[in-house]
Amino acid sequence: MGLFENKVVIVTGGAMGIGRDTALAFGHEDASVVIADVNREASDAVVMAIEGAGGVARSIAADVSRSEHCRRVVSETANSFGGVDVLFNNVGIQPISFYTDVVGTSEEMWDHIVAVNLRSVFLMAKYAIPRMRRRGGGVIINNASVQGLQSMRKVPAYAASKGAVLSLTRAMALDHALDNIRVVAICPGTIDTAMVRTAAAALGSDIEETLTTWGAMHPLGRIGKGKDVAEAVLFLASDRASFITGSFLCVDGGFMAQGAWARGPGASASK
């Protein structure tokens, strides 16, 4: 008997990276997993992996920045499995071509990033919460970022969207606490995903060397893995976290624990 037996879980952006590893982890714990992603081929591959291990899953091709797609994902999930218990709002983008300041950010760039990273959280919750009420409660976990807490240069839309995710998390937690719906967020540090590797490749140097350098900036001396985040998500989604709502968990190897002064003379970036 797995930790999430008889539970129905939706993972947005579940075809790759953190979403994929989390979908697989939920499947391993006997949840019925729905993967909502624009990449149907990759989503189907995750479904096959879950089913191959004896689990239950299905994929739904969807652009969760669009209202009609979010409504359909929730409706098809409920029709297939009887309801919705857990929503992991994981999907997020920061395209390499969009690294610029506000002057260089077009309205189209801004709208696209905010739609995927923030509007999707609002829309998926909007349609999932009524289904959770019918089940007597549920859990919504939003994937924010350490960049929702502090930031770096050239990511104004991304940083704004992630900061807003944290604020929305608090608001939804208050609004739906009496529905027995918990709403929490995670703030990953640098995680070994395709998006991070693409960013590393854009620097023009060896990718593994760049990832090692980035890892050295984290007190634990490495970048994270998708499974590190997945374990945190499963904990927050479980009854073991039944008194946690309206807050966030940093999954960042200690990155947010250090101040800018930690990079001064004599400071060490790793253990």
* Residue 268 pLDDT greater than 70, yes or no: no
- According to DSSP, residue 118 is labeled I
Does residue 158 carry a catalytic annotation? yes
pLDDT of residue 159: 97
Across 68-82, 131-145, 165-179, 254-268, least confident range? 254-268
Q: What is the mean pLDDT of residues 23-35?
A: 98
**Residue found by looking up tokens 């002057």 in the block:** 103
**Would the pTM of this model clear 0.75, i.e. be above it?**
yes
pLDDT of residue 260: 74
Tell me phi and psi for residue 62, to 5 degrees: -160, 145
| Selected catalytic residue, list 4, 81, 88, 158 | 158
- According to DSSP, residue 191 is labeled B
Residues in the chain: 271
What does the mean pLDDT of the chain come to? Answer: 94
pLDDT of residue 271: 31
3-class secondary structure, 34: strand
Q: Are 9 and 35 in contact (CB under 8 A)?
A: no
Tell me phi and psi for residue 185, to 5 degrees: -135, 160
Q: Is 105 exposed, middle or buried, given 0-12, 13-18 or 19+ CB atoms closer than 10 A?
A: middle
**Whole-number percent of the chain with pLDDT over 70:** 96
pLDDT in tens, 147-177: 999 999 999 999 999 999 999 999 999 999 9
The two beta strands, 56-61 and 248-251, are: unpaired
Q: Show the tokens assigned to 12.
A: 């947005």
pLDDT in tens, 100-117: 999 999 999 999 999 999
**CATH domain 8-189+224-251 topology:** Rossmann fold (3.40.50)
Q: Are 47 and 57 in contact (CB under 8 A)?
A: yes
pLDDT in tens, 33-86: 999 999 999 999 999 999 999 999 999 999 999 999 999 999 999 999 999 999
Q: CA-CA distance, 49 to 43, in Å (whole number)? A: 10
**According to DSSP H, which parts of 144-243 are helical?**
156-176, 194-201, 207-216, 226-237
- According to DSSP, residue 140 is labeled E
Q: Are 218 and 255 in contact (CB under 8 A)?
A: yes
